[in-house]
Amino acid sequence: MQGETFWQRTKIHFVAACFCLLCGGVTAQIFNTNLIVNGDAEAGPGSPNGGLVATVPGWTTNGGSFAVVQYGASGGFPFSTDPGPATRGTNFFSGGPTAGLSAATQVIDVSAGATSIDAGSVRGALSGYLGGFSSQGDNAMLTASFRDATNATLGAVSIGPVTAADRQSFTGLLYREASSAVPAGTRSILVTLQMNRTDGTYNDGYADNLALVLLNSNANPRLNISTTTNTVNVSWPTTAADWILESSTNLISGWTTNAASPVIVSNQVIVVVPSHTNARQFFRLRAP
């Protein structure tokens, strides 16, 4: 229950019950948001045939033949209907036409979160879709390396590779996620996307929708509540838009995902709950 926020409501009046929630006084921009720039491969051009593109915004390509390719490109690439992200846009990352090993990196400055990181309250969640071509073993890996102020590596978290067996030899991309505590002393994170070729000439390691989100247990979103005659309006900041609202008639058990659909107004996620459905109801947010 630590770090969660609860609200208690009665038929007569509403009582704000806030437990275990502390504001850490940190810069919120680095928490609860995807820190990878252009993780979806949509910020620049995509090749219609698997070839190289002029630029890959946000990424530094480290040799190899790192490429951005359109779904459905000619030559045998994933289609928009193949396994992969539900929202996949136009492009994905690829190992490219010639190299056995292709890589791209980006460095994320997280020094603004130093206080919380050094207090040990921050976790890094890495996720993305990784894949390959048919029965070939070509694959992709994504690694986030936590580095101190001198760029020495303190730890890492990675996802992949997704094997041909994982894909049951279908062309496409599968979701993977992993998380790790961010070590005290971390000031930057080196993100490395690496594609490895095992078959043929083309490097068919594929990736899309890559995300690195830092979660700060000392800066969990706060729930707000307001009422009208017939409704209870529960809201929280859009910086935690992917958190899940749960409700129960008691604090001990019975927590279920609230069925009401959220709407976003300005910088708030709002869930409107019909009033007086229960004599007492509690709400909490669960991290995704």
Site residues, Ca ion (CB under 5 A): 40-41, 88-89, 136, 138, 199-200, 202, 204, 208
Which is closer to Ca ion, CB of 120 or CB of 200? 200
The nearest distance, CB 242 to Ca ion, in angstroms, is: 18
The nearest distance, CB 43 to Ca ion, in angstroms, is: 10
Which is closer to Ca ion, CB of 86 or CB of 265? 86
What is the length of the chain?
288
Which is closer to Ca ion, CB of 202 or CB of 282? 202
The nearest distance, CB 133 to Ca ion, in angstroms, is: 6
The nearest distance, CB 205 to Ca ion, in angstroms, is: 9
The nearest distance, CB 105 to Ca ion, in angstroms, is: 19
Which is closer to Ca ion, CB of 4 or CB of 208? 208
The nearest distance, CB 156 to Ca ion, in angstroms, is: 25
DSSP state string for the chain: -TT--EEEEESS-EEEE--S-------GGGBSSB-STTTTS-SS--BSSS---S--TT-EE-STT-EEEETT-TTT---TTSSS-SS--SEEEEEESS-SEEEEEEEEE-GGGHHHHHTT-EEEEEEEEEEESTT---EEEEEEEEE-TT--EEEEEEE-PPPTTTTTT-SEEEEEEEEEEPPTT--EEEEEEEEE--SSSSEEEEEEEEEEEEEETTSPPPPEEEE-SSEEEEEEEGGGTT-EEEEESSSSS--EE--SPPEEETTEEEEEEETTSSSEEEEEEE--
Which is closer to Ca ion, CB of 4 or CB of 138? 138
The nearest distance, CB 262 to Ca ion, in angstroms, is: 24
The answer to whether residues 284 and 5 touch, using CB atoms and an 8 Å cutoff, is: yes
Which is closer to Ca ion, CB of 203 or CB of 220? 203
On the 0-12 / 13-18 / 19+ scale of CB atoms within 10 A, 1 is exposed
Which is closer to Ca ion, CB of 4 or CB of 204? 204
